[in-house]
């Protein structure tokens, strides 16, 4: 699950080599192909996160990296978790990092 993967999916859909930022902006501006690409990414991410939820059952999952800035993911991913999580009710929250996409680096720096 990466920007490169999002870019590859968009390339397969459209033949266009747009960057992840361009894809996210296009989706936000109503581009159907970009929205489809974001939805595919959200479905893939939901499948990955469902494994974590099924095994560990965390209260919260914080997304990281540049793609954590794609705000529709926080609405789409929980919708796509249904059918992949063993519980009838999904209580795990999917949230953005408190300090943006640099939160991981900031946390690591604090440990130093």
Residue spans per domain, the chain: 3-111
Question: What is the full per-residue pLDDT of the chain (112 aa) written as tens digits?
Answer: 688 889 999 999 999 889 999 999 999 999 999 999 999 999 999 999 999 999 999 999 998 888 888 899 999 999 999 989 998 889 999 999 888 777 778 888 888 7
d(CA 86, CA 109): 37
C-alpha separations of 3 from 53, 59, 75 in Å: 23, 26, 19
Q: What CATH code would you report for 3-111?
A: 3.30.420.40
What pLDDT shows up at residue 97? 87
């Amino acid at each position: 699950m990466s920007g490169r993967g999002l870019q590859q999916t968009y390339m397969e859909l459209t033949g266009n080599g747009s960057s992840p930022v361009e894809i996210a902006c296009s989706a936000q501006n109503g581009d159907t192909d970009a929205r489809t690409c974001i939805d595919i990414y959200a479905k893939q991410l939901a499948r990955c996160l469902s494994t974590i939820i099924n095994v560990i059952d965390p209260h919260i999952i914080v997304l990281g990296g540049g793609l954590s800035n794609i705000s529709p993911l926080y609405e789409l991913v929980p919708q796509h978790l249904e059918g992949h999580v063993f519980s009838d009710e999904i209580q795990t929250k999917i949230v953005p990092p408190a300090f943006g996409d640099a939160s991981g680096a900031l946390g690591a720096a604090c440990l130093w």
